[in-house]
């Protein structure tokens, strides 16, 4: 296959796997957290698996977390829609409105998340290494959202698209974290290899590795060398397969059982 066709094919395959996986995650957030919040209000968060879901007396923190969960549904469901050129070209108003909402929600989600991580009792999200990792991710989300907005307002569309893609990748870090961990869990089972620090390392890898692959993609598009294009396309095919495994296990063993438990 011609390297350019191969890259287009693998990018489409990667995008379809991402779209399905993110919509499954968004459906989980809406059905699981949404149902508990609707039925029981903030107290519903005490019935989740989250170690610090509801803290007695911390009205501000509890409300912030509830907003974090509601906006997360829009972030995860809406993000991939922003990447579809047909939607951008045929429905520019929709792209602009969803874009503004997405930027506001990721900015608020990351800032609120930072507050929650460092004000709630330890271990809140995870151990200290994991908390530092997600804090770096939060700072990247905040920085990239400012840059994506800046270039959109200046009508510098190629630069806006680059920063918006970087933002999409870091804002999806919490999703990559989960599916990457589930894929690792699968390979651990297959190989028998155990590595107890995987989660700590993957807390950083979950946004650094996807960002590095995105930069490789930008380089392949810019250089137009057939060997680099072929390597990039192959990397995208391999990660799409790994992501597909992670998404299937996360959906079957993590998200679905929690929803079924509520019924
Ligand atoms: C912007 C992208 C983000 C999305 C879409 C998102 C989504 C979520 C979701 C779905 C949950 C519920 C956990 C689950 O059911 O698996 C959650 C919990 C939480 N998130 Fe985020 N999050 C994002 C960014 C962040 C950031 C950057 C931080 C911290 C700096 C953060 C801090 C938290 C905390 C503290 C909890 C509660 C965890 C617990 O008590 O176990 N989030 N988030």
Per-residue pLDDT of the chain (263 residues; tens, 9 = 90+): 899 999 999 999 999 999 999 999 999 999 999 999 999 999 999 999 998 999 999 999 999 999 999 999 999 999 999 999 999 999 999 999 999 999 999 999 999 999 999 998 876 668 899 999 999 999 999 999 999 999 999 999 999 999 999 999 999 999 999 999 999 999 999 999 999 999 999 999 999 999 999 999 999 999 999 999 999 999 999 999 999 999 999 999 999 999 999 98
Residue 170 CB-density burial (10 A; 0-12 exposed, 13-18 middle, 19+ buried): buried
In ligand 1, the atom with minimum distance to the C-alpha of 25 is: 10
- Enumerate the domain spans of the chain: 11-262
pLDDT for 122: 74
pLDDT for 248: 98
Q: How far is the CA of 21 from the centre of ligand 1 (A)?
A: 17
35, 73, 236 from 39: Cα distances, Å: 6, 18, 41
Ligand 1: residue of 125, 172, 180 to mutate (most ligand atoms within 8 A of CB) is 125
Contact 233, 9 (CB under 8 A): yes
Tokens linked to 68: 């974090």
Q: Whose CA is nearest to atom 15 of ligand 1?
A: 29
Q: How far is the CA of 174 from the centre of ligand 1 (A)?
A: 7
Residue of 51, 46, 97 whose CA lies nearest to 74: 97
pLDDT for 1: 84
Query: Taking the CA of residue 64 as centre, how many other CA atoms within 13 Å lie in the half-sphere pointing to its CB?
Result: 18
32, 71, 224, 251, 259 from 256: Cα distances, Å: 9, 21, 43, 6, 5
Counted residue by residue, the chain has a size of: 263
pTM, 2 dp: 0.96
The rounded distance, in Å, linking the Cα atoms of 197 and 86 is 42
pLDDT for 124: 62
| End-to-end CA gap in the chain | 49
pLDDT for 154: 97
pLDDT for 255: 98
pLDDT for 180: 98
């Amino acid at each position: 296959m011609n390297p350019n066709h191969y890259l287009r094919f693998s990018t489409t395959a990667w995008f379809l796997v991402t779209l399905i996986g993110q919509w499954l995650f968004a459906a989980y957030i809406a059905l699981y957290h949404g149902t508990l919040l609707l039925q029981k209000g903030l107290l519903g968060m005490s019935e989740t698996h989250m170690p610090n879901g509801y803290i007695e007396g911390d009205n501000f923190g509890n409300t912030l977390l509830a907003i974090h969960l509601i906006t997360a549904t829009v972030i995860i469901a809406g993000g991939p829609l922003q990447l579809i050129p047909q939607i951008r070209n045929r429905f520019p108003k929709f792209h602009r409105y969803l874009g503004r909402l997405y930027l506001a929600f990721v900015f608020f989600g990351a800032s609120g998340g930072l507050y929650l991580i460092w004000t709630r009792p330890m271990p809140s999200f995870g151990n200290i290494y994991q908390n530092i990792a997600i804090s770096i991710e939060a700072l990247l989300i905040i920085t990239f959202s400012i840059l994506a907005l800046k270039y959109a307002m200046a009508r510098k569309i190629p630069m806006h698209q680059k920063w918006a893609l970087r933002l999409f990748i870091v804002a999806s870090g919490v999703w990559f974290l989960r599916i990457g961990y589930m894929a690792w869990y699968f390979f651990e089972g297959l190989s028998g290899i155990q590595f107890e620090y995987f989660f700590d390392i993957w807390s950083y890898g979950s946004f650094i590795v996807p960002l590095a692959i995105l930069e490789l993609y930008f380089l392949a598009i810019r250089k137009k060398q057939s060997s680099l294009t072929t390597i990039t396309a192959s990397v995208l095919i391999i990660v799409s397969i790994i992501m597909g495994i992670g998404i299937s296990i996360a959906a079957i063993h993590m998200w679905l059982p929690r929803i079924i438990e509520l019924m």
